[in-house]
Structure 1
Amino acid sequence: MDGLDAEPVNRPRVRPAAGHGLGHRPLPPLSLYVHVPWCVRKCPYCDFNSHQADGELPEQAYLAALQADLEHALPLIWGRQVISIFIGGGTPSLLSAQAIDTMLASFRACLNVLPDAEITLEANPGTAEAGRFLDYAASGVNRISLGIQSFNDEALRALGRIHDSRQARAAIEMAQKAVERVNLDVMYALPGQSLQACQEDLQAAMAFQTGHLSLYHLTLEPNTVFAKFPPPLPDDDLAAAMHEHIIEATTAAGWEQYEVSAYARPGQRSLHNQNYWTFGDYLGLGPGAHGKLSFHDRIIRQARHRMPESWMSRCMQRDGSQIVEERALAPQELPFEFMLNALRLKEGVEAGLFSAHTGLPVTAIFPTLKRLEERNLLSLTGGRLRTTELGWRYLNDVLEDFLQ
């Protein structure tokens, strides 16, 4: 959840768009995203809103600001059920167990959080943080997402990670003892990585038999150290071979690729991320957090101020100045916004979900659907909208059609 690179001088007032045509429809599911902005050290490939922590974290000031941020947002979501909470970063596991307990207690007091809501906490494999996993679970965290990235110490050093393979393995074991649902983030196409090294990383990850794997192709994002000083990366053919091996190996071992980078065992899909991908709603709290909220007559997007100290200060003013962007989506934006997420899902979505979550009739996109079907890039059969195998391979080209 990236923050903004620039801050508008004034926060725009949101009004219902004239002739929006969304109608009175049921609102989509609602999730909560919470951003913890601090890391021990900024990784050279990372373009998230993360800041190196100098000394002790300002936990109390952060929690007070988070409470104020939440209270300001309550009128927008009053009475709606929260199906999932995702605490991301940064490195949320730098927060003490008491801080996470206070945070979740506050959410339960102010929000209609479902008793069985999925509550995920991102964590780094450092030993100090891993020692808190049981306490996090006691506070209500029921899913831990570990940023492993690699089990190869040389690769970890190239990525600027602060943990080694031994700590990674120990953290996975501690996470599995604390919660039933564990995700491992692993990257491939790393600096100097061979196909064999990629295979060994994947084999090591699968050996732990976690329910979920997030397997990402390393990309050089703008405004990162790697973008300024590019490391030697595998060429496209080698990266494609790595990707092909990942799909074959995970399928054979019982994981299903249900999204571009997500692989899960039965019953272990990420509810929170699936809500994003089906164009559900999410309230974003914390520095740099983004949100998308639906109303009966409009859909809005929000973004918070990205600098932690300034965000905390603005929240405590209680005037909403921590929100630096808030705008209603125009009807012509909605098809692309919906498809950008939904077509990431391997099995696609029910066609009726387009109308349910955008308020627009599916006939609004019939010309584009017909054009893509004729090119064998998209399929609309049995009431289900999904890419073909060819469309899945050229997903960016498919999405560009919805920008027209």
Structure 2
Amino acid sequence: MTPAADADLLAGIAPDASGTPAEGFGVYLHWPFCAAKCPYCDFNSHVRHGGVDQERFTRALVREMDAMATLTPGRTVTSVFLGGGTPSLMDPGTVAAALDAVARRWTVAADAEITLEANPSSVEASRFRGYRAAGVNRVSLGVQALNDADLKTLGRLHDVSQALAAIEIARATFPRLSFDLIYARPGQTPDAWAAELTRAIGLAADHLSLYQLTIEPGTLFEAMHRAGKLTVPDPDLAAELYEATQAVTAAAGLPAYEISNHAAPGAESRHNLVYWRYGEYVGIGAGAHGRIALHGGRARLATMTERAPEAWATLVEARGHGVTATEFIAGETAGDEMLLMGLRLKEGIDPARYEALSGRAFDQRRLADLLAHHMIERLPDGRLRASDQGWFVLDAVVADLAA
């Protein structure tokens, strides 16, 4: 990555009119503030007990959009994702201003997916109605567990009754609803998880994001795990929990379309599909990442903004954006990124597109070996995807194919 400097890292970048229309164009807006920091979380989120100057951060978001719009002329926005942090701490007027600014800078598709992440503890019916009026048509709730003991362990600010109330409000307000659950929690058994998951599916979300608890560096959970105060399931039990996840969701009509994401047919997250299909997206806000298409879509400009919210806003006010690092990605590196993202999907990847991006074909010996060991599968249309077995060891499969 290019180190941060006083120089404008976006100066001199020649915009490309091509984009990635087949894969879509997404706008990610990051709201980095939370009411509290969860002990497992390593996201770029910050607590401000003295409150947040929403007007200042809205102005900064809108101004940074100008810089990103200059690099992405003529694009049609297929999805907008307000992520965090906790975007449901934003005033509805803040959300409306941000979405209006998107519509003034790009064409927004008539069927664009506009998602807002929310925590149950910050859900109010009037606030949700305000988000809907602003243009949000999909909400993603951070439920994480459906029992109070585990919610407390996970450091969540809501209890199960609040989660259920938030789900009801969301269902009544938005056309589409997703929520997150974390499994492989301390002491969790496959039977208990299957029962909890079955209950979750009965709450009528059309999309579930089901994440295995991982111990991330720099988190409170890492310190507790290192001190022997937190025990998570061993790999064999984690595999059983994963298998239970696949079985329960598939039986209920929400099969996995990506390693951690499950949806009814047609309810897949369009914004996340832009990432996994190696499409183009701009990242706006403190600590946001983007991939801007260059050279007819064969290359990417990776962008990363300043992580500290106030420092990011100061940079935007001074020079129009908070980008502190960039990287030009092309050839084999672009091909590797496409593999890493695309093989997470049940639909897999198009080998011809991989060859066009990377400038090389797969090693046929390695490909044959992975097929013979049932790590990957070739679909009737020629696409390649990781098998169910291959998903367990996806990093190794990608490394083998990319070698």
Tell me the TM-score normalized by structure 1. Answer: 0.90
* Distance in 1, Cα, partners of 2:51 & 2:304: 27
Alignment check: 8 A CA contact 1:42 1:52 kept: yes
- Between stretches 259-268 and 310-319, larger displacement belongs to 310-319
Q: Structure 1 pair 391/127, CA: closer, same or farther in 2 (3 Å)?
A: closer
Q: Structure 1 pair 104/243, CA: closer, same or farther in 2 (3 Å)?
A: same
* Distance in 1, Cα, partners of 2:337 & 2:169: 38
* Distance in 2, Cα, partners of 1:116 & 1:54: 38
Counterpart of 1:378 (choices 376, 379, 393) is: 376
* Distance in 2, Cα, partners of 1:26 & 1:61: 32
Q: Structure 1 pair 345/14, CA: closer, same or farther in 2 (3 Å)?
A: farther
Look up the SS of the partner of 2:216 in the other structure.
Answer: coil
Look up the SS of the partner of 1:396 in the other structure.
Answer: helix
Alignment check: 8 A CA contact 1:143 1:181 kept: yes
* Distance in 2, Cα, partners of 1:7 & 1:120: 32
Alignment check: 8 A CA contact 1:16 1:328 kept: no
Q: How does 1:4-23 map to 2 (within 5 A)?
A: 8-9=4-5
Alignment check: 8 A CA contact 1:35 1:87 kept: yes
Q: Structure 1 pair 295/368, CA: closer, same or farther in 2 (3 Å)?
A: farther
Superposed CA deviations along residues 61-116 of structure 1, whole A, max 9, x for unmatched, are 00000111111122110111111000000000000111111111111111111121
Q: Structure 1 pair 351/393, CA: closer, same or farther in 2 (3 Å)?
A: same
Q: How does 1:117-266 map to 2 (within 5 A)?
A: 117-126=112-121, 128-129=123-124, 131-230=126-225, 231-266=230-265
User: Are 1:401 and 2:397 matched, yes or no?
Assistant: no
Q: Structure 1 pair 77/366, CA: closer, same or farther in 2 (3 Å)?
A: farther
Question: Which residue does the alignment assign to 1:89?
Answer: 84
* Structure 2 runs not aligned, ≥5 long: none
Q: Structure 1 pair 144/125, CA: closer, same or farther in 2 (3 Å)?
A: same
* Distance in 2, Cα, partners of 1:72 & 1:176: 36
* Distance in 2, Cα, partners of 1:240 & 1:130: 39
1:391 partner amino acid = G
CA drift at 1:403: 4.8
Alignment check: 8 A CA contact 1:146 1:183 kept: yes
2:386 partner amino acid = T
Question: Which residue does the alignment assign to 1:269?
Answer: 268
* Distance in 2, Cα, partners of 1:67 & 1:365: 46
* Distance in 2, Cα, partners of 1:176 & 1:319: 38
Specify which structure has the bigger relative contact order, considering alpha-carbon pairs within 8 angstroms and separated by 6 or more residues. Answer: 1
Question: Which residue does the alignment assign to 1:110?
Answer: 105
Q: Structure 1 pair 216/330, CA: closer, same or farther in 2 (3 Å)?
A: same
Question: Which residue does the alignment assign to 1:391?
Answer: 390
Q: Percent identity?
A: 38
1:8 partner amino acid = A
Superposed CA deviations along residues 255-305 of structure 1, whole A, max 9, x for unmatched, are 111110111012111111111111001100000000001112632100000
Counterpart of 1:65 (choices 60, 74, 77) is: 60
* Distance in 2, Cα, partners of 1:319 & 1:57: 21
CA drift at 1:370: 4.2
Q: Structure 1 pair 7/202, CA: closer, same or farther in 2 (3 Å)?
A: farther
Question: Which residue does the alignment assign to 1:307?
Answer: 308
Q: Structure 1 pair 177/393, CA: closer, same or farther in 2 (3 Å)?
A: same
Aligned length: 392
CA drift at 1:347: 2.8
CA drift at 1:349: 2.8
* Distance in 2, Cα, partners of 1:63 & 1:336: 35
Alignment check: 8 A CA contact 1:86 1:272 kept: yes
Q: Structure 1 pair 135/26, CA: closer, same or farther in 2 (3 Å)?
A: closer
CA drift at 1:41: 0.2
Alignment check: 8 A CA contact 1:188 1:218 kept: yes
Alignment check: 8 A CA contact 2:362 2:401 kept: no
Tell me the TM-score normalized by structure 2. Answer: 0.90
* Distance in 1, Cα, partners of 2:11 & 2:383: 34
* Distance in 2, Cα, partners of 1:226 & 1:204: 27
CA drift at 1:375: 4.1
* Distance in 2, Cα, partners of 1:303 & 1:269: 26
2:234 partner amino acid = D
Alignment check: 8 A CA contact 1:119 1:140 kept: yes
* Distance in 1, Cα, partners of 2:282 & 2:219: 27
